[in-house]
Each structure stands twice: as structure tokens, then as C-alpha cells.
Amino acid sequence: MNQNELNNSIAVASMRLASIQPALNNTYPDMNKKAYYVRIAEQPFKFPDGHEIRYSPGTYACWESAFKKGGFDALIPKERSDKGHTRKLDADVIAKIYDLREKYPRLTATGIRDKMIMDGFIKASDASVATFQRFIKKNNLKGASAPGQKDRKAFEEEFATGMYQADTLYGPFITENGVSKRTYCIMILDDKSRMITGGKFFYEDNSVNFLQVFKESVASYGIPQKLYVDNGASYKNSQLPLICGQLGTVLIHTPVRDGASKGKVERNFRTLRTRFLDALDPNTISSIGELNRLLTEYIRNHNTSEHSGTGMIPHTRYLEDIFQVKMPKSREWLNDCFLYRVKRKVRNDSTILLEKQLYDVPMEYIRCSVEVRYMPGDTDSAFIYEPDRRIPIRLTNKVENSKTKRNNNTYSLNYGGNNI
């Protein structure tokens, strides 16, 4: 499985987790868990590429059981045994697809297949929904999209840590060591309590810095059931779905170019600007450390003062739901959840390339594909992961390696005289 295939599999696993999370947390609105699975099984399961499949209630129950036993990894789809073998539609079915597309331009791939089954043209076992969807996508036969207006309604999570919302705000320029730099404030807000669970200024807006804030939020205030972020580069990457999956958190991205969907966190940033940044004189700030100390004080005041939107103190509102809050099992467990995972092919010289640097790995892995895990921003912590062990790797030192190889040779070069 290459990196792209792994990313797609992770996306599927994240969606599986989203479907079973109400059952895991006992937050379903139905009379019991079985009723919940029966209800959601009535709707098709939508895959990241757009195709849909209906699963039985038992399948969802199996996913729940697998997650409880093996965590997020157990939800990642395994490679198909028939991978590489195309499932073909015969000429009559293809002709019928074209005919129905012309007659019913708004009919989906699922709808076309269902109509062909209802008309007795094919049997359900002849071809899956996914097969129809791949054919229609490949041949550019997608139907016309119906215009519609967004249905936007105010919402609030039932419990604290039900959802964290995160975003980045452009901060002031400050001068440190004679250099003026732009700052960025990464902040995380609990949806229900409106408590700021994490916030910090950085000189760069990137995924490593966001994960630092997110990790400390989880360590201090608990694991969110959902994480709501936009589509910026700091939040749209291959590692965040994996990390959320390990935590048991459902990752949700806002619709593209839809700022209004982030109402609470945007409102929080407006308050931050009017009550903190506008009153700040950047010329008096000598370091980003000093700026963060001031931000910490602002966050403390925010969390312990009445919120205009709820009429309650955020920290008090959070404490009301403290028995619903799920804390990390341990710091070690939390560290493992936040490890980056990447696939690498070991070169013939027993090295791999990681974050633009070469690392030595044991010779037994030459020409093998390995999974490497490491802490974000700290490749020195990298190791090869296997289910039953962790194999440390080290930064390649070509000079030391050359000495080792020369010492192992029977003959050596003598630049000053005769060769021996």
C-alpha cells in the first residue's frame, strides 16, 4: 500500500469512526444501540471519493467491536485480494447507462443502478454501486447538480468536549533580536462551554505548531469527540486524520470558502482582537515568549469571566460536564497518538529519506517498505514501527560510515606511499 492508498484508507477509517462514535460514547438518540445501527443502516455510507454503499446494522456493530479491540488501526480497510482486476460492465449495461443518463440527467449512479434493478435489466449481484460510480466518473457522465441554498442553523454540542473548534488568526509584527516578524495565533475553543482550551502565538502557521496546541488542549481538558477545522494547510494534511483516529476523535472540515460555518471561533477571534490585540503596543513586546505570557493571562480572564453568548463562565460550564470528559490514558499513550506515520522504501545503501534528511536503518530492511513513526518536528525520535517492536533509526553520518567501511576492509589505501 503506497502513501496515497494509505491516505485514502485513513479517510475511510475516519468516516467509519464517525458513524460508530455515538455508540462508543452512548450519545445516540435512539432507544438502544441496536436501534441506532438499524437507523443509520437505512442511509448509504458515503466514501471520500463520492461513491456510496449500504451496510447492514451488523457491519456497523463489527466496526465498533474492532475499534474496541484494535483501536483506529482496526478500522483501516485491508487491501483487496483481487486488487488490480477490473470489474467490468457488459456492453448492454453500458448502453443502458448512457440511455438513462440522457433521459434522467439528475439521476445519480446509485439511482441508475437501482432503476436498472427495478426494471429487471440487471440483478443486484451483477454489479455493485461502486462499479457504477467508477464507470460514470471515468466516462464523465456525472449528472447535473441541482441548485440549492445552504441550510444554516445555530448549533451547540450537548456536552463539553463534544467538539473543539480550531483556527488561526494573523497576529501583530514584533521585533525580536533586531528582526521584525509576523506572528500567528493558533487557538482552540470548546463548542459547548466556549472555553479556550489552547492558544499560542508562533512565527509560523503550520501543522506542527497546531498539533502542539491541540496536544496540550487534549492533555489539559480532555479528548474531543469531534474536531472542527477549516481547509488551510495547517489542518488539511495526511497526518491529522490519523492522529484524530488514534484519539477516537472525528475530524470535520468546514465547507470550502464558508467562513460563516465557523461562527463561534470567528466570534472568539473578534473578541481577542478588540480586547487584547487592539490594546497591545507591539513595540513594547521584545519576544514571542513575552507575547505568549500576555496571551495566557488573557485566556485565563476569558475562561473565568461571564460569556455574553451563554450568560455563564466558560470554566464553570465546562466543569458541569466534567463526568462526560474523557481524559488521555497516560502521557505516554498521548505521545503515541500524536506520532507522525509515513511509509518509506529502504534504499540499497540501507537509508531512508525523512524530512529531507537521510537516516540509517538496519540492513535487513534493504528494498523493503517500512512504516516510520516520529514526533512532529522531532525526527530524532523516529523509529521503524512493527506491531511487536520499535526499531530506532539514526541520522546518517557519512564520515563515520566511511570509517566503519574502511576498518572492515582487508586492504586500505595508502596515499603516502606503496599500497599494501
What does the angle CA 51 – CA 17 – CA 333 come to, to the nearest 5 degrees? 140
- Residue 310 is given by DSSP the state T
pLDDT for the residue 8: 78
CA neighbours within 13 Å on the CB side: how many for 397? 7
**pLDDT 10s digits, 285-332:** 999 999 999 999 999 999 999 988 888 999 999 999 999 899 999 999
Helix axes 33-40, 3-25, angle to 10 degrees: 140
**pLDDT 10s digits, 200-251:** 999 999 999 999 999 999 999 999 999 999 888 888 888 999 999 999 999 9
3-class DSSP assignment, residue 144 = coil
The domain defined by 163-324 carries CATH number 3.30.420.10: yes
pLDDT for the residue 225: 93
Flag whether pLDDT at 410 surpasses 50. Answer: no
Residue 77: closest CA among 109, 108, 45 = 45
Alpha carbon of 324 to those of 131, 161, 300: distances in Å? 43, 8, 23
pLDDT above 70 as % of the chain: 86
Grid look-up 496536544 returns 215
Q: What is the mean pLDDT of residues 138-158?
A: 61
Residue 109: closest CA among 47, 52, 48 = 52
Q: What is the CA radius of gyration of the chain?
A: 27
Flag whether pLDDT at 415 surpasses 70. Answer: no
Q: Is 363 exposed, middle or buried (0-12, 13-18, 19+ CB in 10 A)?
A: exposed
Residue 48 CA to residue 346 CA, distance in Å, equals 30
Flag whether pLDDT at 252 surpasses 50. Answer: yes
- The grid cell for 381 is 525520535
- The grid cell for 293 is 505570557
Flag whether pLDDT at 413 surpasses 80. Answer: no
In the chain, domain spans:
3-75, 91-138, 163-324, 339-405
pLDDT for the residue 86: 43
Residue 284: closest CA among 296, 293, 274, 273 = 293
- Phi then psi for residue 178, to 5 deg, are 80, 5
Alpha carbon of 276 to those of 67, 126, 224, 291, 301: distances in Å? 43, 64, 27, 11, 11
Confidence band of 397 (pLDDT split at 50, 70, 90) = confident
Check the CA dihedral 339-19-188-190 and report its sign. negative
What predicted TM-score, i.e. pTM, was given to this entire model? Answer: 0.70
Confidence band of 181 (pLDDT split at 50, 70, 90) = very high
Confidence band of 26 (pLDDT split at 50, 70, 90) = confident
Grid look-up 445552504 returns 150
Which residues, at least 6 apart from 33, have a Cβ–Cβ distance to it below 8 Å? 23, 61
Strand partners, 391: 384
Summary mean pLDDT of the chain:
84
Q: What is the mean pLDDT of residues 76-102?
A: 70
Domain 339-405, CATH number (from 3.10.450, 2.30.30, 3.40.50, 1.10.20): 2.30.30
When mean pLDDT is compared across 54-63, 114-123, 350-359, 401-410, the lowest value belongs to 401-410
390 vs 1, which has greater pLDDT? 390
pLDDT for the residue 188: 95
Flag whether pLDDT at 13 surpasses 80. Answer: yes
